[in-house]
Structure 1
Amino acid sequence: MALDDFMSKLDVMLESKLNDLKISIVDDFKSTFLLLQKEIQSLQESHTFLSAEYDDLKKEVQSHKHTITDLRRENAGLTKQLNICTTKINQLEFNSRSCNIEFQNIPENRNENLVKIVKTICEKVSAPIQDENIVACRRIAKLKASSQRPRNVLLSLPTPRYRDEILSAIYRYNKVNRTDKLNTQLIGMPGNKIQIYATEHLPAEIKDLHAKSRALAKQNGYKFVWIRYGRILVRKTDTSKPLCIVNEDCLKNITS
């Protein structure tokens, strides 16, 4: 075979091989490219899905925030309304007791004559009372059954004015007799001298609020805590302005 023919055939063979190699490389590239394209498309779809999920979650969180804000606002409004209703109920209950005086610390005796005892008290403070003006006079149940103090004595009178006159007389008597305030010995009761207290007949809620007010006032250096017509009043000094405690929210004014 001539050299030229051999070289010609070799060129043909090499060209054929190169074409086959090119085709193989192109096919491999196309396959790889298509595979990468699918993976990129899948990643894009995943990203789109996650982005949508994130947006939905963000909207849901925002919605919950608004709901929580609305619930807090509604709760604050309901709490305010509840306090207003509680104050009104306490006032109505107080008004229903406006003719009563509650005596505390009077020792109990099986054969006691409560009418005679309260009449003696009234005479001692220069506010005598007649039998016909005593609507009712009785012991009332303790707020705490475990308490060792005697049951309070409840005196019911014809009018609130009558009640106020007796309470004022007791207040004046104690003010004049600071070293010997109204007590059991002064009304002829045997045994140790025990101070007798007379207060407005208050609902249990107001009594509880009064106790809390006294405790907080003592902790914060307040000098006076008293009740007037069912309202609890506290005052830090002789000249400071009184604070009115109508519900537990007002207690924070004592500590502020």
Structure 2
Amino acid sequence: MLRTPSKAEMEHASSVPAKQGEIFHKRKRRDSREEMTQELQIFKTEILGMLNSWKEEQAPIIKNIQKDLSEVKAQNVSIIKKYEDLEKSIKFFSAEYDDLKIKVEKLEKERKGNILLIENLESKFEEVQRHIGCKKIEIRNLPEIPNENLMQITEKLHGEIGCEYGPTTICDVFRVPARGGKIRPIIAEFASSKQRDNFIKCWKKAMGGSKPIASSLSGHNKIYVSEYLTPLAKKLFFHGRELTKQKIFKFCWTNHG
């Protein structure tokens, strides 16, 4: 005889599969978590292994980099020291240069002052020489003879050109050195510049403006007589004659030095 299950039995029978399914799902979730945890652990282990391997590979490189950095640091320290030494040297030389510049400027100023002083002294010396030379004449190209008497020679020159001569007309007469083995010129100093000018006037008049030939004194040599010139005036006169040769000037002469 069949019996109809009661309501409680039916509820109990229906609840048993539901609980079993719930337990299955819970177990499945737990297994999935465990697998994920294991996979994460494996991944972690692999990552750590890779990092350790990379670290081992990079360790020598990092060591070399640290070594290079140490060397660069040492070089930088050396460069900084050299730069500081160079800066000190530059400051020292700059100070020395400033001192030398001041000294050079001072010397340059003194040099300019000395040049002006020398020029003034040369100008005064030239004036003194010209004043002394205002009583002198220069006789050129008169041959030298042994034991010659220059006073007698000048007296004969006076006679040849018809110029008055007395015992006190000439104060001194002498020869001066000449270059290149040429005949040494004679310098005759008169007692006064008036007597000197009178002699030159008589000489030009007697010679008619041409170059004289005093055969009794010089043989066939031409004798040239001119007023005495200082070395500076003689140099200037030389350049003046050169300009006349170049037709730049028509005449060139001297007068009172």
Band the TM-score falls in, shorter-chain normalisation: 0.5 to 0.7
Structure 1 length normalisation: TM-score?
Answer: 0.58
Higher helix share: 2
Please say which of residues 91-100 and 107-116 is displaced more in the overlay: 107-116
1:33 CA drift (Å): 5.3
Instruction: Select 1:131's aligned residue among 159, 163, 167.
Output: 167
Runs of 5+ consecutive residues of structure 1 not aligned to the other structure: 231-256
RMSD: 4.6
AA partner of residue 144 (structure 1): R
Per-residue deviation, 1:184? 0.8
* Residue in 2 that maps onto 1:198: 225
The change in CA–CA distance for 1:140 and 1:111 in structure 2 (over 3 A counts) is closer
Separation in structure 2 between the aligned mates of residue 69 and residue 224 of structure 1, nearest angstrom: 47
Contact 1:213/1:225 (CA < 8 Å) preserved in 2?
Answer: no
Corresponding residue to 2:204 among 171, 176, 183? 171
Cα deviation for residue 130 of structure 1 reads: 2.0
Structure 2 partner of 1:95: 131
Displacement after TM superposition at 1:139 (Å):
3.6
- Give the corresponding residue for 1:11: 44
SS of the aligned residue for 1:135 comes to strand
User: Please, what TM-score do these two structures have when normalized by structure 2?
Assistant: 0.57
Which position in structure 1 is the counterpart of 2:155?
119
Per-residue deviation at 1:162?
Answer: 1.8
2:209 is the counterpart of 1:182 = no
Name the residue aligned to 1:140. Answer: 175
| Matched residue type, 2:219 | G
The alignment-based identity, stated in percent, is 16
Number of the residue aligned with 1:229: 256
Q: 1:155 is aligned with what amino acid?
A: A
Q: Is the 8 A contact 1:139 1:153 kept in 2?
A: yes
CA distance in 1, matches of 2:128, 2:243: 26
1:160 aligns with 2:182: no
SS of residue matched to 1:90: helix
Q: Which residue of 1 aligns with 2:239?
A: 213
Provide closer, same or farther for how the CA distance between residues 228 and 10 of structure 1 changes in structure 2, counting only shifts above 3 A: same
- Alpha-carbon displacement from aligned partner over 1:5-33 (angstroms, at most 9, x marks no partner): 69737735753773793995997566665
In the alignment, the residues of structure 1 paired with residue 242 and residue 93 of structure 2 have an alpha-carbon distance, to the nearest angstrom, of 48
Q: Which runs of 5+ in 2 are unaligned?
A: 1-33
Task: Give the match for residue 27 of structure 2.
Answer: none
Q: Is the alpha carbon distance of 1:49 and 1:135 closer, same or farther for their aligned partners in structure 2, counting shifts above 3 Å? A: closer
AA partner of residue 213 (structure 1): H
Whether the 8 Å CA contact 2:241–2:252 is kept in 1: the answer is: no
